[in-house]
Structure 1
């Protein structure tokens, strides 16, 4: 396996990441385009998936989302889901220019927030021949309503309005922690499992920051990638769903899968939202994605 740094322009931002190539074999390689979820950076286990794909004869193009990690883009820490889905399309365009890669055999892998992005991508970009969506965001409004107590919603909406007033006046955007150790503290992704995941990756992902703009949370409440799922077919779709996922709720993912057209496949994993990244969860999720790409791209 070979890995080299890459960079490409995407509507004014330089997106940076890695290109993985198999160690042996001839000819342009099929490629899987990959990015991480809400605020996460490529060092938070995406290298493990890319290595698994490369070992099976696939190339992998991994990039940090704009405003995060090694990538450029301002403001830092801002997550615009529509722009991130668009950046996947820029990554596909870039991949198709590289001589080592087969421009007609491009797949897309996404997880959590980017699991929603690849549903949008699969429905809108027919250059993508195969999709793997892992523990995906399906409905921002529904997920947000389950994570926020109803009596706290008016105060949250008031914060969004106040932030708009401040930005309009030229003052800095408000920010919010991504995760919090205290279950009662305000944050974008509440829950002890989120805190444990992100804190546990700090030693090997030092560029990750526990902060996003408040506007990122507002945009998340408006995002409905599940609305695209019925338009993905006939592009092959694999969904990897965690049985006890409270962050991107399991029932929403299963309902979306039922609306998807063939060809499709579903893998159910034990555990919560962060289970697929490590241990037996990674062995299962990585193997399922690898086999799906091998089947449809090789």
Structure 2
């Protein structure tokens, strides 16, 4: 991996989401003093990711800057509980974030008035959605933000398929019918499993994500590259930015690579939000570059610490 410290230094914790135990990594400042109170950040991973990847990398960096930071596995994924396994349900993912806030406010050393949230890729979209109904999130940021509802309805960036949504929902219908009749659950891959599956039709974002998730660059055992086909009807019903205009005067920050083929998601979020808001572009970076490449992560972290430092002041 690009970094060797970002998940081994996190303290393993569990917290409740209804009856489920969610698995987290809690990062504390280097000079941590349990008698003090600190601002805290919830960090949400991308679709297909787990806490040990880019969410814990950002959480580790935020802890170095003086924050209590929590990276966690979504319910039904990673080391968190939840059946069926590998469900990607936006409503559930947003509730995971609320539950992470529930956990943070039980910690005596966390200031409940200074809680922020951030997420990467789909985690950025889920974070902005959670902020719309979770008033305890005082400031929120998205890194390479992705609206999973848009891509479920219209397809991945750079990929055009006629009648995409209708075909998608038909496949969901067939999968659900088969499972209702006793068949095994059907799964799709997020990205190719290996390089032999990459061809001229493979989109830029899938090529980038394959290198990140399926090679030693950041491959992790609990990131299995599978999600339930029956997740797609829930994804298609979701709109990450539907009521983003309602969060003002709580601030929103969007960090994106200037070369990202997903830039339009961050632009849509920026257009939907009211002030205070900022769209911050990192020159030369692609979508996945912001997950772990030091030359791009460092300016993103600096922007995050400036942003949260300004808006989560005591």
TM-score normalised over the length of structure 2: 0.86
Work out whether residues 241 and 272 of structure 2, in 8 Å CA contact, stay in contact via their aligned partners in 1: no
Pick the aligned partner of 1:60 from 50, 57, 69. 69
**CA distance in structure 2 between the aligned counterparts of 1:144 and 1:45, rounded to whole angstroms:** 26
Indicate yes or no: 2:85 matched with 1:76: yes
**CA distance in structure 1 between the aligned counterparts of 2:130 and 2:41, rounded to whole angstroms:** 13
How far the C-alpha of 1:202 sits from its partner, in A, is 6.8
Work out whether residues 152 and 232 of structure 2, in 8 Å CA contact, stay in contact via their aligned partners in 1: no
Work out whether residues 22 and 57 of structure 1, in 8 Å CA contact, stay in contact via their aligned partners in 2: yes
Aligned residue number for residue 160 of structure 2: 149
**CA distance in structure 1 between the aligned counterparts of 2:250 and 2:55, rounded to whole angstroms:** 23
How far the C-alpha of 1:221 sits from its partner, in A, is 2.6
Aligned residue number for residue 208 of structure 1: 223
Pick the aligned partner of 2:270 from 257, 260, 265. 257
Aligned residue number for residue 189 of structure 2: 177
Gaps of at least 5 residues in structure 2 are: none
**CA distance in structure 2 between the aligned counterparts of 1:188 and 1:65, rounded to whole angstroms:** 26
Question: Where do residues 222-233 of structure 1 align in structure 2 (5 Å cutoff)?
Answer: 222-233=237-248
Question: Where do residues 287-298 of structure 1 align in structure 2 (5 Å cutoff)?
Answer: 287-298=302-313
Work out whether residues 138 and 252 of structure 1, in 8 Å CA contact, stay in contact via their aligned partners in 2: yes
Distance 1:167 1:202, change over 3 A: farther
Match of 2:243, SS state, is helix
How far the C-alpha of 1:84 sits from its partner, in A, is 0.6
Match of 1:104, SS state, is strand
Work out whether residues 96 and 103 of structure 1, in 8 Å CA contact, stay in contact via their aligned partners in 2: yes
How far the C-alpha of 1:263 sits from its partner, in A, is 1.4
Distance 1:23 1:34, change over 3 A: same
Deviations 1:13-34 (A, max 9, x none): 1101111111225511110011
**CA distance in structure 2 between the aligned counterparts of 1:175 and 1:289, rounded to whole angstroms:** 35
Work out whether residues 21 and 58 of structure 1, in 8 Å CA contact, stay in contact via their aligned partners in 2: yes
Pick the aligned partner of 1:107 from 110, 116, 129. 116
How far the C-alpha of 1:45 sits from its partner, in A, is 2.5
Pick the aligned partner of 2:19 from 4, 9, 12. 12
Match of 1:265, SS state, is strand
Pick the aligned partner of 2:128 from 119, 144, 149. 119
Aligned residue number for residue 175 of structure 2: 163
Pick the aligned partner of 1:266 from 279, 282, 286. 279
**CA distance in structure 2 between the aligned counterparts of 1:79 and 1:24, rounded to whole angstroms:** 37
Work out whether residues 45 and 54 of structure 2, in 8 Å CA contact, stay in contact via their aligned partners in 1: no
Aligned residue number for residue 89 of structure 1: 98
**RMSD of aligned C-alpha atoms?**
2.5
TM-score normalised over the length of structure 1: 0.90
How far the C-alpha of 1:222 sits from its partner, in A, is 2.5
How far the C-alpha of 1:103 sits from its partner, in A, is 1.5
How far the C-alpha of 1:256 sits from its partner, in A, is 2.3
How far the C-alpha of 1:109 sits from its partner, in A, is 0.9
Work out whether residues 20 and 51 of structure 1, in 8 Å CA contact, stay in contact via their aligned partners in 2: yes
Work out whether residues 131 and 247 of structure 2, in 8 Å CA contact, stay in contact via their aligned partners in 1: yes
Work out whether residues 191 and 206 of structure 2, in 8 Å CA contact, stay in contact via their aligned partners in 1: yes
Work out whether residues 191 and 210 of structure 2, in 8 Å CA contact, stay in contact via their aligned partners in 1: yes
* Farther off after superposition, 260-269 or 135-144: 135-144
Work out whether residues 148 and 240 of structure 2, in 8 Å CA contact, stay in contact via their aligned partners in 1: yes
Work out whether residues 234 and 262 of structure 1, in 8 Å CA contact, stay in contact via their aligned partners in 2: yes
How far the C-alpha of 1:271 sits from its partner, in A, is 2.8
